[in-house]
Amino acid sequence: MVTRIKRVNSSKPMLRNSFPVLTRFSLGSRCSTSIVVWSLVGFLVMLHLYTLISHTDVQRQDTDIHKSHHPILRELEEVEEENILIPPPRKRSPRAVKRKPKRATNLIGEFLDENSHIRHVFFPTIKMAIDPMNEGGNDSFYYYPGRIWLDTEGNPIQAHGGGILYDERSKTYYWYGEYKNGPTYHAHKKGAARVDVIGVGCYSSKDLWTWKNEGIVLAAEEKNETHDLHKSNVLERPKVIYNDKTGKYVMWMHIDDANYTKASVGVAISDYPTGPFDYLYSKRPHGFDSRDMTIFKDDDGVAYLIYSSEDNSELHIGPLNQDYLDVTDVAKRILVGQHREAPALFKHEGTYYMITSGCTGWAPNEALAHAAESIMGPWETMGNPCIGGNKIFRLTTFFAQSTYVLPFPGLPGFFIFMADRWNPADLGDSRYVWLPLTVGGAADQPLEYSFGFPLWSRVSIYWHKRWKLPAQRSGF
Ligand SMILES: *[C@@H]1O[C@H](CO)[C@@H](O)[C@H](O)[C@H]1NC(C)=O
Ligand SMILES: *[C@@H]1O[C@H](CO)[C@@H](O)[C@H](O)[C@H]1NC(C)=O
Ligand SMILES: *[C@@H]1O[C@H](CO)[C@@H](O)[C@H](O)[C@H]1NC(C)=O
C-alpha cells in the first residue's frame, strides 16, 4: 500500500522502452504502380487466410477457454460463484447520521465499513480459524481464503505483504512477511492507517499448510530514531532469495518514513534462512523513488528488482549484481503511465508473467496480468486474471492485493497466488487469500502490439471458498 506523494525529481534519466511501432510506409516514386497493387492483393489474400485459420483456432479454444488441460487441475479450475446479499439498511442513530452522510450500499462499501453486518463474510471470526494442528481429518490441507490462519503454536500467522522461499538445502518452505501484530493508528490527520514496525516474521513449512513460527528474523529498532528500521518508519513487502555463489540469504524490502517520502529499498543478509538478518543499508534504486517492490530470481541465477516508481505511475525493472546486494546501472521503465503496484512475478515455459494491483491505498482494486518474452520488457497487459466469485469479487481481486506467486513443484503451469486482504481498521488482523493460479488457454483480449495474435496464454486465478493443493506428484 502506498499513498500519493508529490513528485520526486529523478537525477539519472533511463532509456525509454522502445516498443515496436507500426511505421507508415512511404512508397517512393520509383515503385511502379503494378508492384504496389500486386503486393496489396497478395497481402489481402494472406490476411484473409490468416483470419480463417485464427477463427477456427478461436472456436476450438472457446470450448476450453481458461483450462490448462491438466486433469489434476480440473477441480481447481471449476468456476465457483458467490452470492452475497447486502443487508437491508439499518436504523441509524441521529448522531451517526450527522457524522456520516450515507451508509454503504454496495459490497465494497460493506467491506470497508467496520460496522457492516456482513463483516464476517470478509473477516471471519477467530472461531472459524484454520488450525492445522487441530483439524480433524476431513478439513486437513484445506485453504479457506480470508480466514484467520494459525501457526503450529495456535497463534495467527503474521506474514503480511510476504513471499515464500523454497530452500533446496533444507527442503523447506520459508514464508517471510510483515509482522504487524500491533495497534493500528494514524500518525496524523491525513496519514494512512499504520502499525509501527515490529519486523519481518518468518514461518517454515514442508507442506505449505502447517507453519512453524521461526520468530522475527529482522527486528525493528526501538531507540535509534535515525535508523531505517526505527519503529516509527515503514517496512513493507520483504522478499528473500538465496544466492548460490555467496551462500547467503538476501532480503529486499520497501523502506519508507511514515509519510512515504523516503521511497527506498532496504537490503539485509543472513547465513541462514531463519536469520537473524543483518540490515545493510537503504537507497533509491537507480536514483528513483521506489515504493511497492519485489525481487525475482531467474533460472540462470540472475535476480531482478521490480519497483513502482515516478509516484507509482510506472514500474522499473533491473538486474541485481552478482551478490544480490545492490542493483546495477541497467534498468528499464515498464507499464509506463499504468499506475500499478504490488508486483508479483513468475515464469512459465520461458515467458514472464506478472500480477499487479492498482494504487488505492488499503482499499482493494482490480488486478491485472502482464506478460513479456524478455524480463526487461516490453511488458504487455493482458487483463484481469480473476475468475469466479462474482463481479465485485473479480473487480477487487477477491478483496485482496497481490503479493507473491509461488510455483508449485511437479505441476508445470500451476501456481499459488498469494494476496493480502488488508483490514485498515486493524492491520494486524489482515487476512491471507491464497488461490490456485494456472497458465493456459487463450488470452481473452487481443494484445496491443501483436496484431491480435494470441501470443501468450491466459493467466487465471480461480476463486474458491475452500480448496487444497493437488496431492498427486506434489511430493508431499
Ligand atoms: C468427514 O466427512 C464425512 C462425510 O461427509 C462425515 O461423515 C464425517 O463425520 C467427517 N469427519 C470429520 C472428522 O469431520
Ligand atoms: C543510529 O542509526 C544510524 C543510521 O543507521 C547510525 O549511523 C548511528 O550510528 C546509529 N546510532 C547509534 C547510537 O547506534
Ligand atoms: C509527515 O507529515 C506530517 C503532516 O504534513 C508532518 O506533521 C510530519 O512531521 C511528517 N512526518 C515525517 C516523518 O516526515
Rounded average pLDDT over 433-449: 77
Task: Supply 171's cell numbers.
Answer: 527442503
Q: Residue 73: pLDDT band by 50, 70, 90 thresholds?
A: confident
Q: How far is CA 470 from CA 146, 200, 212, 249, in A?
A: 20, 30, 22, 29
pLDDT value for 62: 39
473: pLDDT strictly greater than 80? no
Task: Supply 55's cell numbers.
Answer: 477463427
Rounded average pLDDT over 338-350: 97
Domain count, the chain: 1
Task: Supply 415's cell numbers.
Answer: 501456481
Q: Which atom of ligand 1 is nearest to the CA of 138?
A: 1
Label the pairing between strands 303-309 and 293-297: antiparallel
Say if CB 370 and CB 335 are below 8 A apart.
yes
Question: CA–CA separation, 442 vs 408, rounded Å?
Answer: 21
In this structure, of 13-17, 108-112, 386-390, the range with the lowest mean pLDDT score is 13-17
Q: Which atom of ligand 1 is nearest to the CA of 136?
A: 13
Is the CB of 3 within 6 Å of ligand 3?
A: no
CA-closest residue to ligand 2 atom 4: 227
Q: Give the tens place of pLDDT for each residue, 201-229.
A: 999 999 999 999 999 999 999 999 999 99
Task: Supply 448's cell numbers.
Answer: 496491443
pLDDT value for 54: 47
Instruction: Point out the ligand nearest to the CA of residue 226.
Output: 2
180: pLDDT strictly greater than 80? yes
Q: Which atom of ligand 3 is nearest to the CA of 257?
A: 13
The answer as to whether 5 is a domain residue is: no
35: pLDDT strictly greater than 70? no
In DSSP terms, 293 is beta-bridged to 307
Question: CA–CA separation, 81 vs 106, rounded Å?
Answer: 18
Mean pLDDT: which of 46-60, 367-381, 434-448 is highest? 367-381
Is the CB of 137 within 6 Å of ligand 1?
A: yes
The answer as to whether 39 is a domain residue is: no
Q: Which atom of ligand 2 is nearest to the CA of 228?
A: 5
Cell match 531463519: residue?
274
Q: What is the CATH number of the domain that holds 363?
A: 2.115.10.20
pTM for this prediction? 0.84
- Among 304, 334, 236, 309, smallest CA distance to 11 is for 309
Sign of CA dihedral 258, 200, 386, 442: positive
In this predicted model, which residue has the larger pLDDT, 6 or 442? 442
Cell match 463481479: residue?
391
pLDDT value for 93: 62
pLDDT value for 87: 77
3-state secondary structure 369-383: EEEECCCCCCCEEEE
The answer as to whether 7 is a domain residue is: no
- Average pLDDT score over the chain: 86
Task: Supply 453's cell numbers.
Answer: 495474435
Share of the chain above pLDDT 90, in %: 70
The answer as to whether 25 is a domain residue is: no
Instruction: Point out the ligand nearest to the CA of residue 139.
Output: 1
Label the pairing between strands 172-179 and 160-167: antiparallel
396: pLDDT strictly greater than 80? yes
Is the CB of 11 within 6 Å of ligand 1?
A: no
The answer as to whether 12 is a domain residue is: no
The answer as to whether 139 is a domain residue is: yes
Question: CA–CA separation, 87 vs 147, rounded Å?
Answer: 21
Rounded average pLDDT over 121-130: 97
Say if CB 369 and CB 437 are below 8 A apart.
no
Q: How far is CA 358 from CA 1, 337, 340, 343, in A?
A: 10, 12, 5, 10
The answer as to whether 2 is a domain residue is: no
pLDDT value for 446: 53
Label the pairing between strands 386-387 and 457-462: parallel
Give the angle subtended at the CA of 150 by the CAs of 147 and 461, to the nearest 5°: 45
Write out the H or E segment, with its range, that includes residue 416.
Answer: strand 414-421
Classify each residue of 3-25 as buried b or exposed e, where b means 16 or more C-beta atoms within 10 Å of its C-beta: bebeebeeeeebeeeeeeeeeee
Residue ranges making up the domain that contains 222: 101-462
Is the CB of 136 within 6 Å of ligand 1?
A: yes
Rounded average pLDDT over 315-330: 98
Q: Give the tens place of pLDDT for each residue, 44-62.
A: 656 565 544 444 444 334 3
CA-closest residue to ligand 1 atom 12: 138
- Give the distance from CA 375 to its chain's centroid: 16
Q: Give the tens place of pLDDT for each residue, 237-295.
A: 999 999 999 999 999 999 999 999 999 999 999 999 999 999 999 999 999 999 999 99
The answer as to whether 261 is a domain residue is: yes
Is the CB of 108 within 6 Å of ligand 3?
A: no
Say if CB 176 and CB 251 are below 8 A apart.
yes
* Sequential DSSP letters for 143-173: B-TTS-BB-TTSPBP--EEEEEEEETTTTEE
